[in-house]
């Protein structure tokens, strides 16, 4: 009652007079927080930081940092790659999206895992033999062009920022959940932006101070934390509430909700905002038909458009996995190409097993925690299902619910901390090393560069945090899908064509990558802008909008999208046209500039494709060792 | 290189038929794909559970073949080197 009163006060009073703060703030902060959840989360955060600094202290050179001296066993390395790959999107986002959109969202986990097959078939082996640390390194080495390297760096930043936003959303959601019962300046619950700023600041300072470099041991540990944290609650929940198949069986359309029984528990009624059983369980549900539904198309056309959307999504995810900048680096930690292939095999097994679990959370969430549909994509929305669901065990088994919820919170921290740190390291490296060290001040001293690395880390962290505060109402998984689409339209064509086609020229590669990538960025920004404006405007439902928002609302393209559903689908999921566009540009421009094909192309192709045991392998890195 | 590429394309083709064929099955035969198997719908079971093992099988097959091809190439080259008359 009291909190409702406070909420209705005008902002100037609700923002708590000074003498009010200590009384509300200090005593309630810990009393209202579940000790198990807090303990598990703090343990993960502290453990990650301590392990990061411990491991960073033991690795001094650039080579140690990037490739761990190349002596890592297949098992460790596979765990480390998996640990780096499983971000907040995999841990929280997939479950949330399966809960909110049903079957269509299953494409995300499946393609996240299966995209690795493409990497294995076409890219992993040759790239490992070529021996460049990063995609910009590869771009420079394959085309002998420092200019091209700089162009490639731009996309490290583009993809990186698109990828950090969902991690920040994960952080904000998790903190808002852990501290949901505290009173923050007279309002209940920790606000979303505060969580983003807190977690973002901790990770940024950690990276800037030199902890948490891409150390194999830390990342491998993170994988097993995540695996344990997602699997244990599922096993307990399924044994209490019935198996995976049973959960899906409960989605039998037409049946009266309150009478469906699973053991002794009655399934709660679905809120009005939830998709119906039939659309949730069947393909071509809310996710893929949104644009067509908004345009009020007839059913057969809607289905055709949904099929198109599905294909574009699949292309984005599969090709995007094969072009993710922060994943490829780890292939060089393998001693040879055969080990690189074995590692990829194990990565597919490890992440494949992991990805079976999040959709189960989604199905369980729909049956046992449907109230989350009301906060559809905000902090109290479906993205929090992995964290919140174990709490339903409290009413039967008391503490067990808290412990399991604490475990999933720990897993969530492991997920967004490892991915955000990894991205921050690679983006900061790109900015400090390529932009500052090679473009702005090529003859800067080593100390200057170290200092610059720290400032760049702070700068990128700040930008990522600011972007993160804006995305409260976007689904985590959806945002990651967008980052994949950009990678699919820029890096994937570059890698794929450079590895297999000897006719590629520098201009062809650069035009294709820039053309495809920038078109994808532009298309995605258009639809994201509309979503952003409409959710912002939604917050002003009961009070007048500020002028800038009213202007944005008037120019938000909403009417255009409603009239042109096909364009909306193609802009929201651009991979279907952007990937072929990039490849076509590469072929056409390369043909036009055919006389600029590097003269040593035969040698380069041999390095990429000849078996290493023949001794042809040129360690590109060794030549450029001073480079880092 | 061309043998490796052929192997890669062969494996990718199997994978793509499964990956791109599933939405098409959903589109063309929705009722068949919606039949229940142990509570799952057929299409959910295929995509959410059985797709992962399929990919593992393709990957394991590729890795074995690919390593074999590489060893065969090494044997050929070393055989040529050991008999200099054949070596250009």
Question: Crossing angle of helices A547-554/A506-538, nearest 10°?
Answer: 120
At residue A626, the pLDDT reads 38
CB spacing of A245 vs B67 below 8 angstroms: no
Cα distance between residue A305 and residue A569, in whole Å: 8
Residue A4 has pLDDT above 70, yes or no: no
Lowest mean pLDDT among A62-76, A413-427, A459-473: A62-76
Lowest mean pLDDT among A65-74, A163-172, A177-186: A65-74
Does residue B37 lie in a domain region? yes
| Chain A stretch 131-190, residues whose beta carbon is closer than 8 A to a beta carbon of chain B | none
Q: Across residues A262-275, what is the average pLDDT?
A: 69
Q: Which helix (H) or strand (E) element contains residue A545?
A: none
Model pLDDT for residues A59-71, shown as the tens digit of each residue: 555 444 444 445 5
Cα distance between residue A134 and residue A496, in whole Å: 15
Polymer length in residues for chain A: 628
CB A289 within 8 A of CB A104: no
Model pLDDT for residues A508-547, shown as the tens digit of each residue: 999 999 999 999 999 999 988 888 888 778 777 777 878 8
Main-chain phi, psi angles of A185, to 5 degrees: 50, 50
Does residue B28 lie in a domain region? yes
Q: Across residues A218-239, what is the average pLDDT?
A: 90
Q: Over pLDDT 90: what percentage of chain A?
A: 22
Residue A416 has pLDDT above 50, yes or no: yes
Going from N- to C-terminal start, the domains of chain A cover: 26-56+73-627
Does residue B55 lie in a domain region? yes
At residue B37, the pLDDT reads 86
Using a CB-CB cut-off of 8 Å, the residues of chain A touching B77 are 614
Q: Could you say which DSSP state residue A378 is in?
A: S
A282–chain B Cβ distance below 8 A for any pair: yes
CA dihedral over A205, A208, A212, A214, signed as positive or negative: positive
At residue A269, the pLDDT reads 75
B12 → closest Cβ in A121, A310, A613: A121
Tell me the three state secondary structure of residue A39.
Answer: helix
Q: Across residues A181-207, what is the average pLDDT?
A: 84
Residue A262 has pLDDT above 60, yes or no: no
Tokens of A109: 């986990």
Q: What angle do CA A356, A361, A255 make, to 5 degrees?
A: 115
Lowest mean pLDDT among A140-144, A570-574, B55-59: A140-144
Q: Which domain holds residue B31?
A: 2-82
Does residue B87 lie in a domain region? no
Cα distance between residue A71 and residue A239, in whole Å: 42
| Chain B stretch 24-83, residues whose beta carbon is closer than 8 A to a beta carbon of chain A | 24, 26-27, 30, 33-34, 36-41, 43-44, 47-49, 51-53, 55-56, 58-60, 62-63, 66-67, 70-71, 73-74, 77
Using a CB-CB cut-off of 8 Å, the residues of chain A touching B20 are 311, 314
A to B CB pairs, distance under 8 Å: 123
Residue A11 has pLDDT above 50, yes or no: no
At residue B52, the pLDDT reads 93
Cα distance between residue A395 and residue A294, in whole Å: 41
A613–chain B Cβ distance below 8 A for any pair: yes
Main-chain phi, psi angles of A154, to 5 degrees: -55, -40
Tokens of A124: 């992993």
B14–chain A Cβ distance below 8 A for any pair: no
Tell me the three state secondary structure of residue A262.
Answer: strand
Residue B67 has pLDDT above 50, yes or no: yes
Lowest mean pLDDT among A95-109, A287-301, A594-608, B49-63: A594-608
Write the CB contacts of B54 (distance below 8 Å, at least 6 apart in sequence): B18
Highest mean pLDDT among A18-32, A66-80, A521-535, A609-623: A521-535
Q: Across residues A37-43, what is the average pLDDT?
A: 86
Query: Are β-strands A261-262 and B40-41 bridged in parallel, bridged antiparallel, or unpaired?
Result: unpaired
Distance of CA A548 to the CA centre of its chain: 30
pTM value?
A: 0.86
Using a CB-CB cut-off of 8 Å, the residues of chain B touching A307 are 23-24, 27
A111: Cα within 13 Å, side-chain hemisphere? 29
Residue A437 has pLDDT above 90, yes or no: no
A372 pLDDT tier (thresholds 50, 70, 90): confident
Give the number of domains in chain B: 1
Residues A311-349 as b or e (16 or more Cβ within 10 Å = b): bbbbbbbbbbbbbbbbbbbbbbbbbebbbbbbbbbbbbb
Main-chain phi, psi angles of B36, to 5 degrees: -90, 135
Residue A430 CA: distances (Å) to CA of A214, A423, A459, A552 = 15, 10, 13, 33
A455 pLDDT tier (thresholds 50, 70, 90): confident
Dihedral-angle region of residue A270 (phi above 0 means left; psi in -120 to 50 means alpha; beta otherwise): beta
CATH for A26-56+73-627 (1.20.1730.10, 2.60.40.420, 3.40.50.300, 1.10.3720.10)? 1.20.1730.10
Q: Over pLDDT 70: what percentage of chain A?
A: 83
At residue A212, the pLDDT reads 47
Between A62 and B2, the more confident residue is B2
Question: Locate tokens 């269509």: which residue?
Answer: A104
Does residue B50 lie in a domain region? yes
A609 → closest Cβ in B1, B34, B51: B1
Residue A3 has pLDDT above 50, yes or no: no
At residue A518, the pLDDT reads 92
Between A322 and A460, the more confident residue is A460
A449 pLDDT tier (thresholds 50, 70, 90): confident
At residue A253, the pLDDT reads 53
A214 pLDDT tier (thresholds 50, 70, 90): low
Cα distance between residue B39 and residue B33, in whole Å: 13
A267 pLDDT tier (thresholds 50, 70, 90): low
Q: Across residues A467-485, what is the average pLDDT?
A: 88
Residue A424 has pLDDT above 90, yes or no: no
Residue B85 has pLDDT above 70, yes or no: no
How many C-beta atoms lie closer than 10 Å to residue A443's C-beta? 6
Does residue B88 lie in a domain region? no
Between A252 and A430, the more confident residue is A430
Question: Locate tokens 């791109």: which residue?
Answer: B20
B41 → closest Cβ in A117, A281, A352: A281
Rg value, chain B, Cα: 21
Q: Across residues A48-76, what is the average pLDDT?
A: 62
Between A298 and A272, the more confident residue is A298
Write the CB contacts of A575 (distance below 8 Å, at least 6 apart in sequence): A312, A313, A315, A316, A319, A320, A485, A488, A489, A520
Dihedral-angle region of residue A512 (phi above 0 means left; psi in -120 to 50 means alpha; beta otherwise): alpha
Q: Could you say which DSSP state residue A269 is in?
A: P
């Amino acid at each position: 009652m009291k909190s409702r009163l406070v909420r209705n006060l005008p902002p100037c009073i609700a923002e708590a007079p000074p003498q009010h703060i200590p009384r509300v703030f200090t005593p309630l902060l810990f009393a209202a927080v579940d000790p198990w959840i807090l303990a598990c989360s703090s343990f993960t955060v502290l453990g990650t930081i301590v392990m990061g600094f411990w491991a960073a202290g033991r690795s001094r050179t650039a080579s140690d940092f990037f490739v761990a001296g190349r002596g890592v066993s297949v098992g460790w390395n596979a765990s480390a790659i998996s640990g780096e790959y499983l971000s907040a999107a995999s841990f929280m986002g997939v479950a949330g999206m399966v809960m909110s959109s049903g079957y269509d969202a299953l494409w995300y986990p499946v393609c996240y895992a299966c995209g690795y097959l493409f990497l294995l078939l076409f890219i992993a082996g040759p790239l490992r033999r070529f021996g460049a640390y990063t995609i910009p390194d590869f771009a420079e080495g394959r085309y002998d062009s420092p200019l091209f390297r700089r162009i490639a760096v731009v996309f490290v930043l583009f993809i990186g920022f698109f990828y950090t936003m969902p991690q920040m959303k994960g952080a904000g959601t998790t903190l808002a959940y852990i501290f949901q019962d505290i009173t923050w300046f007279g309002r209940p619950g920790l606000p979303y932006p505060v969580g983003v700023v807190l977690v973002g600041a901790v990770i940024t300072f950690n990276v800037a101070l030199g902890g948490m470099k891409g150390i194999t041991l830390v990342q491998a540990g993170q994988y097993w934390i995540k695996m344990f944290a997602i699997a244990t609650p599922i096993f307990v929940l399924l044994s209490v509430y019935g198996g995976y198949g049973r959960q899906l069986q409960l989605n039998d359309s037409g049946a009266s909700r309150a009478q469906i029984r699973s053991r002794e528990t009655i399934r709660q009624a679905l809120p009005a905002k939830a998709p119906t059983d039939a659309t949730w369980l069947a393909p071509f549900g809310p996710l893929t038909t949104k644009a067509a539904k908004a345009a009020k198309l007839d059913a057969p056309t809607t289905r055709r458009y949904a099929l198109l959307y599905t294909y574009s999504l699949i292309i984005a995810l599969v090709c995007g996995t094969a072009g993710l900048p922060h994943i490829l680096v780890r292939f060089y930690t393998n001693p040879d190409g055969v080990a690189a292939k074995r590692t990829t095999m194990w990565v597919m097994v490890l992440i494949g097993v992991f990805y079976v679990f999040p959709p189960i959370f989604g199905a369980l969430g729909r049956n046992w925690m449907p109230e989350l549909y009301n906060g559809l994509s905000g902090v109290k929305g479906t993205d929090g299902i992995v964290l919140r669901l174990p709490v339903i065990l409290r009413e039967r088994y008391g503490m067990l619910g808290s412990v399991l919820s604490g475990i999933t919170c720990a897993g969530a921290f492991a997920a967004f901390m490892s991915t955000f740190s990894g991205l921050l390291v690679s983006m900061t490296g790109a900015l400090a090393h390529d932009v500052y060290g090679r473009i702005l001040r090529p003859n800067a001293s080593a100390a200057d560069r170290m200092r610059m690395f720290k400032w760049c880390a702070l700068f990128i962290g700040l930008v990522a945090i600011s972007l993160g505060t804006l995305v409260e109402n976007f689904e985590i998984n959806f945002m990651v899908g967008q980052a994949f689409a950009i990678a699919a339209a820029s890096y994937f064509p570059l890698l794929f064509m450079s590895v297999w086609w000897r006719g590629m020229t520098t201009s062809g590669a650069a035009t294709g990558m820039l053309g495809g990538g920038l078109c994808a960025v532009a298309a995605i920004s258009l639809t994201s802008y509309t979503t952003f404006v409409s959710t912002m405007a939604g917050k002003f439902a009961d009070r007048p909008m500020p002028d800038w928002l009213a202007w944005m609302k008037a120019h938000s393209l909403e009417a255009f999208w409603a009239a042109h559903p096909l364009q909306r689908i193609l802009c929201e999921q651009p991979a279907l046209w952007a990937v072929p566009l990039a490849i076509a540009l590469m072929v056409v421009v390369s043909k036009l500039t055919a006389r600029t094909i590097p003269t040593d192309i035969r040698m380069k192709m041999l390095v990429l494709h000849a078996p290493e045991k023949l001794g042809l392998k040129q360690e590109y890195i060794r030549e450029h060792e001073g480079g880092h | 290189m061309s043998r490796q590429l052929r192997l890669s394309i062969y494996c990718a083709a199997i994978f793509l038929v499964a990956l791109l064929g599933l939405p098409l099955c959903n589109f063309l035969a929705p009722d068949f794909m919606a039949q229940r198997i142990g509570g799952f719908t057929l299409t959910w079971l295929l995509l959410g559970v059985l797709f992962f093992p399929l990919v593992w099988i393709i990957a394991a097959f590729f890795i074995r073949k690919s390593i074999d091809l590489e060893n065969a190439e090494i044997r050929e080259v070393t055989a040529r080197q050991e008999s200099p008359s054949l070596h250009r």
